[in-house]
A and B are shown apart, each in its own frame.
Chain A
Amino acid sequence: RKEVEQDPGPFNVPEGATVAFNCTYSNSASQSFFWYRQDCRKEPKLLMSVYSSGNEDGRFTAQLNRASQYISLLIRDSKLSDSATYLCVVDRGSQGNLIFGKGTKLSVKP
C-alpha cells in the first residue's frame, strides 16, 4: 500500500460546482496533515493544514478521520482560479519529513 493515496483525476467541473477530494494514508503514527496546491510548472504551495476537528478557510473545508486514516478537501463554489493540482500531504511520524500524494488535477470550466 502506498503511503499516501489520492483520488485519481482529473476532475473537470463547471464554475460554481462543489468538488471533493479524498486521500488515505498508511502510517498510523502520522501527526501532521496538509493540503497543498500546485499550479502547472510551479512549486507546491501550502493551502491549509488539516486538524482532527475539521477546519474551514473560506470556500475550502478540510476533514481528518484518524480512525479511518482518511483526509478530505471540499471546495465550494468553484472558481476558474481553483484549477490546479491538489496534493495530499502527511508526515512520517517521528521521522519528520512529509510524504506527498501524486496529486489530483482539478479543471474548473466556465
Chain B
Amino acid sequence: DTGVSQNPRHKITKRGQNVTFRCDPISEHNRLYWYRQTLGQGPEFLTYFQNEAQLEKSRLLSDRFSAERPKGSFSTLEIQRTEQGDSAMYLCASSFPRRGYTFGSGTRLTVV
C-alpha cells in the first residue's frame, strides 16, 4: 500500500494523559501536513513539514502540541496533558508543493 498511513486509527484516553500519533506519508512526497477536524467543520491546519523542517505552525497548536519529522520520513504528533477539547479526528496528509494532498484515514481521539 503506497498511501498515507496513520496509527492508531482510534485512541481513547483519560484527560491529562499524553498521546502520540504517527503518520507515514507517501514516500516520494516531501511535504507532510497535520490537520484537525471536528464534527461539522472542515479540516483545520495545524502544522506542516518540508522534508524534516517544520515550516509553519498554526495558532491552534498550543504549547501542549508538538510535531516532529525526523529524517524527513514519518512524523509524530504528540499531545501532552490532553483536554476534552482535544477530541477530534487528526488527519495527516502528504504532497508535492502546490499539489493536492493525499490524506491518511486519520486518528480519532476521544478524551474522557
- By a beta-carbon cutoff of 8 Å, the part of chain A in contact with chain B is 4, 31-32, 34, 36, 42-46, 49, 87, 89, 91, 95-103
With a cutoff of 8 Å between Cβ atoms, the chain B residues found around residue A49 in the complex are: 100
Residues in B20-43 with C-beta less than 8 Å from chain A: 31, 33, 35, 40-43
Docked-complex contact B43 and A44, CB < 8 angstroms: yes
How many pairs, one residue from A and one from B, have CB atoms within 8 Å of each other in the complex? 51
Docked-complex contact A31 and B102, CB < 8 angstroms: no
Q: Which residue of A lies closest to B100 (CB)?
A: A46
With a cutoff of 8 Å between Cβ atoms, the chain A residues found around residue B31 in the complex are: 96
With a cutoff of 8 Å between Cβ atoms, the chain A residues found around residue B102 in the complex are: 46
With a cutoff of 8 Å between Cβ atoms, the chain B residues found around residue A98 in the complex are: 33, 45, 101
CB distance from B3 to the nearest CB of A (A): 10
CB distance from B95 to the nearest CB of A (A): 9
10 A-B residue pairs with CB within 8 Å: A36-B100, A42-B105, A43-B103, A45-B103, A91-B98, A100-B35, A100-B43, A100-B44, A101-B42, A102-B41
Knowing A43-B104, A100-B42 are in contact, say whether A95-B56 is a contact too (CB < 8 A).
yes
Knowing A32-B98, A45-B103, A49-B100 are in contact, say whether A96-B48 is a contact too (CB < 8 A).
yes
With a cutoff of 8 Å between Cβ atoms, the chain B residues found around residue A97 in the complex are: 33, 45, 48, 56
Q: Which residue of A lies closest to B31 (CB)?
A: A96
- Whole-angstrom distance between the alpha carbons of A101 and B102 in the complex? 17
